[in-house]
Structure 1
Amino acid sequence: MGVDGGEVTEPGWEVDPDDDWGVAVIATVGRQLKLRREAVGMRAAEFGEAVGYGEDMVYKVEGGKRIPRQEYLNRADEVLEAGGLISATWEDVKRVRYPKKVRELAKLEGQAVEIGLYECNIIAGLLQTPEHARAVISAAQPPYSPDDVERMVTARLARQSVFERDPAPSIHFVLEEAPLRRPIGGTMVWRRQLERLLEVGRLHNVTLQVMPLNSEVHSGLDGRIEVLKFPDGTAVGRSDGAFNGRATSDPKQLRILELRYGTIRAQALSPGESLALIEQLLGET
């Protein structure tokens, strides 16, 4: 284990054995590290001490069992005097550092020209602050390891690059009022999360609506809905309460999801009313 800024850090994340591409990439990088270390005559323990990590972790990285962080690769490049060749492998590693399902979702969101999302139990991941995301993920039972928590938080935040795209996609959110009132992570984390919602809700390409608690009619009781539309006119959608929760591109099934999502949007508060409610909640904290 390494020490950075007084905090103990891990050199990377466990490799998902079911992620064929990820396994291949990390195995190749690990092999390159081992060959270069052996070429300069360094033992694993000696190398680990030089880069600030334990011998066991060095073997895991070189054996393709651990996904190295960028800092690990940079330190290895310096110690082995690789002239930037090891550091450059980060371009491949960073593409597989997140779980396969998250990568696939991020890829779709990165291609979509229109994103529609209804979230019923939590604040949508695309809207979460780092602190809020960490609190939500850490609350899972059975609990994730600290290492897995950080990996999942980092992956969730990486998806938020969708807000930086140019041209910007049209993004629509509908959130339930109840999760907005739940102070997950404590008062300061909660306040920052509400402030983040206001920031994003005021972006020119974002529409943010809240489904009020006092709504007498509600078409979103079956759970989360997400609909993504692409430049070529195709679309993909998923709902917790339809089609076994699986993603679908079937036109008939997409029409059902779009009908449900459109009804939910009509039943929710208007964008202006929604932002006013969030401001009210912020003022009450």
Structure 2
Amino acid sequence: MANEVDPSSSIAALFGLRVRRLREAAGLTQSELGKRAHTHSTRINQVERTTGSKPTLKLAQALDGALAADGLLVDLWPYVHRETFPDWSRKFMALSERAVAIRQYAAAVVPGLLQTEDYAREVLSVGLTLKSPEQLEERLAARLGRQARLTKPDAPELWVILDEAVLMRPIGGPAVMRDQLARLLSAADDPRITLQVLPYSSGAHSALGWSLEIPTMPDGSEVAYIENGHRGQLFEEPEEVKEFAVTYDRLRALALPPIMSLDMIRSVMEGTYLAERIPSRSERRRLAQVQLQQPGGWQLRRGRPQPPRHRPRP
């Protein structure tokens, strides 16, 4: 067909072509498929022609079921979403998804595998490589989709060191941070996940200014990935990876023990971000003025109830 999407142009185009061919083989119109997948025919058209945002994992699952694709579309979906991220991160993401163990040091933000949706949206929205709101939604869906691996029987062992700055930086505001820190505490209930906090008091160290991740592959080999802000670099040479592994071990030695780390996370959640719910001085002043204008407001003027003064009768 003259208007057929070229499947070699991108994985998203291949996904769209597979959807169209499966739909036609099933004798369904776009409208009929949309109803089966609980979406609109326009969305089906966008997926098939790759003219809109990339499909979410939920939509891929719905299409897979509606078309009896036997997992084909769901299996293809992660590769579709890797294209929403910069080139320098795609190979690392592919390796990380196969890892049986992951060691991470996070210098600035909570690692993606442990982010809440609101926190992830705030972090992704400031990326220098972000081109559109649609791409933001694509990256958000991909990040949240990757988290599903932590709930599977073959989930990797995850050891995360969080710089204290990660806890103190109020990304998204107090409510978002409270939910995010609560997410960390609940994640630590999983015996496969270990959290440590590297406190400010640890001073200077060899990973200042960048984050580090070391995935271990099923064959026992390792790679290292460092990231600073909006750029990353993958290292695969054994000697280089070994140097980063030593760096990580030193960070782990400087960090608080896991139990103390969880106590610190809980303290920041219940203290720092709960305290920020207290109104500011100007807000308290405006509130007091409103209360003074209400019936009984005279009781607030001196901080304790004062009976009204009665004028003597003439």
Give the structure-1-normalised TM-score: 0.73
Q: 2:161 aligns with which of 157, 174, 179?
A: 174
Q: Deviations 1:181-229 (Å, cap 9, x if unpaired)? A: 1222222211010111111123212221111123223221141111111
Q: 1:145 aligns with which of 132, 137, 140?
A: 132
* Residue equivalent to 1:52: 40
Cα distance, 1:105 vs structure 2: 4.4
Cα distance, 1:107 vs structure 2: 4.1
Contact 1:31/1:63, CA 8 A, preserved across alignment: no
Q: 1:156 aligns with which of 137, 143, 148?
A: 143
Structure 1: tracts of 5 or more residues without a match: 1-14, 78-82
Count how many residue pairs are aligned between Structure 1 and Structure 2.
256
Cα distance, 1:133 vs structure 2: 0.6
Q: Which amino acid aligns with 1:184?
A: I
Larger of the two Rg values belongs to structure: 2
* Residue equivalent to 1:184: 171
Contact 1:225/1:237, CA 8 A, preserved across alignment: yes
Q: Could you say if the C-alpha distance between residues 48 and 120 of structure 1 is closer, same or farther in structure 2, counting changes exceeding 3 Å?
A: same
Q: 2:192 aligns with which of 202, 205, 211?
A: 205
Structure 2: tracts of 5 or more residues without a match: 275-314
Identical positions, percent:
29
Give the structure-2-normalised TM-score: 0.67
Q: Does 1:94 align with 2:77?
A: yes
* Residue equivalent to 2:305: none
Alpha-carbon distance between aligned partners in 2 of 1:163 and 1:261, rounded to the nearest angstrom = 22
Q: Could you say if the C-alpha distance between residues 74 and 204 of structure 1 is closer, same or farther in structure 2, counting changes exceeding 3 Å?
A: closer
* Residue equivalent to 1:63: 49
Q: 1:24 aligns with which of 14, 21, 29?
A: 14
Cα distance, 1:71 vs structure 2: 4.8
Q: Deviations 1:25-81 (Å, cap 9, x if unpaired)? A: 323324555x579x77x7x8x889986355xx6654333444445559968x9xxxx
Cα distance, 1:235 vs structure 2: 1.3
Cα distance, 1:108 vs structure 2: 2.7
Contact 1:119/1:224, CA 8 A, preserved across alignment: yes
Cα distance, 1:240 vs structure 2: 3.4
Cα distance, 1:142 vs structure 2: 7.5
Please show how residues 233-272 of structure 1 align to structure 2 within 5 Å. Answer: 233-240=220-227, 245-272=232-259
Q: Which amino acid aligns with 1:91?
A: V
